[in-house]
Structure 1
C-alpha cells in the first residue's frame, strides 16, 4: 500500500499527485541520496547539473516530512544567528558563515525560475516584536545582517509602522526583510523532484533504506532492492530514525503544528496581511503565519519535544491565532496537521562525513527551508572535490544532549519553559 502524505492543506492542494515506483532491483549509480526532502532534492539537482548520476531513495513520498508540511516561510540566516556562531568559531570563520547566510533564499528563487516551479512564491517577510526587548534585538539583527552584506532590503518598524504589514495590535514593532518570502512548500519539493527527473535522476518512493554497508562502493539496501554508489548522502533529518546511530545520538525530533482556516474574503485577507507577506514573532517558541494563494490563513506554532502527535492540534493552535487576530472569532478550521523537525543542542546544523564516501547534513532546528537548499549545494561541492565550504560547516561542534536519549526531552522542555517565561515577562 502506498504511503500517503499527511492530511494537510498542502497535500490537498498539491500540483503533482503522481506516485513514483518502489525500488525493485539492484542498481548502480554515482551518488545515492537517502531522503526526498529539500536537502536530498537540492543535492540531487546540484549534482545532476554537474554531470553526476543520481538515485534518490524516499521512505514515503516526495516531501512527506518537514519539507512538505512546514510554514512555507523563506527566512534568512540560521536558527542561531551569525553573532552566536562567531562566539564559537571566531570572527574570521564567522565572516564565511555570514557570506552564506542569505544564499539559500537565492537558490530557491533560482530553482523556481530555472525549472518553472509553480509554488505560489511571494516576496517579503516580517519579524514581529512582542515587547521592547525583542524590538531592540531586531535592531541589532538588522545591523548584524548588514555587516555581513545583507544591504538595502531591511526596514525597522515601530508600532504604527508594523500595522501597515500586520492587522494585529499585539506587536510593538518589527523588521521587514524584502528578500524573505513565502511559498507552498510541498509544491516546491514536488517541482524540484520533477526537475531532478527531467535531468535524468531517479526517485524511488516507499523505498526506505534499511541497511547501509560502508565501502567502495557503498551499498544501500531497501526491502525490494539495492543501490551501489560511489558516494552516499544521508538526508533523512527528523525521519531518519536509527538507520545511522551516530547521527541520531546527537539530535532530537520535535513536532510543530499548523492549521489552515477556511478561505477568507478579500477584505478580511487584506486587513490581516495588507502586503501578503509572511510573519513570525520573536519568541523562543515562536508563532508564524501567512496567507495561502486561496486566502486561507495558515497559522503554526508550538513545539512537542520528542515528536509525539498531539491529540487535538486545533485546540493548541486556534487560541494562538485568535490571540493575534481576535477579529477571526468563529472562523472555521479546514485542516490541522503536525510535522517533525530535527533539533540539535546548539540549534546549528550538523554536517560531516562518515568514512571516506558518506556525507550528511541534518538538524536545521526549525530553520530549514533556506538552509537545506544551501546544504544541497555544499554537499554537491564536496562530492565534486570542492570541500572548503562543506568543511566550514563540518567544523561546528556536535554536542550530545545532557543525559543522553533518556533525558533529552525533559531537559529540552525545561529549557524551553525558561525561555518562554522570559518571553512572557519581556526580559
Structure 2
C-alpha cells in the first residue's frame, strides 16, 4: 500500500513569520485549527510537528489558503479561563499599545484541549467555567517594549502571583511557605530580570522556581516548619488536602500542573524534568491514589473543580510587587556585603600568613648523638658523719655567714 506523502511544511521560524505577517496570534491559529495554544507554540519552537489533517490545515492557514475564524467554537475543555485579559489590562494601564488587526477571541474560546500529536491523554480534561483560579495563563502576552523594567516586572507579578500562591499552597499545605516561595521566586526573577524578560515563558520560569523552592526538603529542618499549620475549615477541603500531601512530591506536582494549572503532557514533563511517558505514569498513579481515597473525584473535571475550590477558599494574598522588588534588592545587597566581607577576611588572613611565614629554608636540628671519651657526670653519694656535722654547724651560724676568723692573742 502506497503511503500518501505529507504536505510540505515550512521551517518553524518561517511558520512564525508567516503567522505574524497575517497579524495572527497563536490563539487565533489554535482556535482555527481546534488545538491548544501550547500545541501551536510547540510547533513554532520545533518541539513537535503537526501531522495528518492538522498539518494540511496548518499549511493552508499560513499560506493564506483558508480564512481564519478566530471565533470558531472550540469544544475542548478549558482550564485556564481568561487568556489575555489580566496581562493585557495591566499593560494597557502601564503603556497603551496598538491593537492587532485580528480581534482577540473571548476567553472561553481559547480553551486548551488534548494535543492530537501526543496521543490520547491519560484522562479527559476538566470542564470550562473555572476561570483562572489556579493558573493565570499558559503563556502571557509579550510585554510591550516601551515598558520600564519596573513596570514589566509589576505586570508579570500582578498577573502570576495570586495564582502561584494558591498553587504552592496545594503543593505544601502551608500558607506562609506558599507566600515565601512565591516571593523568593519573584525576587530571584528580579535579580535575573534580563534573563527572565527574554525568556519565551516568563510565567513558567517563575512557576517552576516557586514550586522547586516550596518542595525543597531543607524546609523540614527549619523550626517553624516542624509543626503543621491549621488545616482548612471545611471537612471536604481538609480531606482532599490530606490526600494530596500524602502523595510523593513529584506525583503531587505532576497532578497539579496537569489537572490544576492545565499544562499539556509534554510541558508537564519538561517542567518536572521527566520524560513524557514518566509524567503520564505519575499522573495516572496520582489520580488513582486520589480516586481510592475520594471516589467522587475520579473524574478529572471534578478533581479540577475541587482543586480550584480548595485553593480559593483560603483567601491567600500575595505581597505588593514593590515590596517584593525591595526585598530582592535588600537581599542582593546583604549577600554582596557578606561576600565583600568574606573576601576582605580572606585577603587579611592571606596577608598575615605571608608576613609571618618563614621566607628562607631552615634546616631541621640534627638529633642528639652520644659523645665517646667523656666520663659521665657522677651524682654525689650519701654524706659521711663529718660532712653531716659540718652541715649542721654551718646551718647553725648567723644568716650573714660564719664569724670572721681572727688570731687570738697568745
Q: TM-score, structure 2 length as denominator?
A: 0.25
Higher-strand-fraction structure: 1
Q: Which has the higher helix share?
A: 2
TM-score w.r.t. length of structure 1? 0.24
Larger radius of gyration: 2
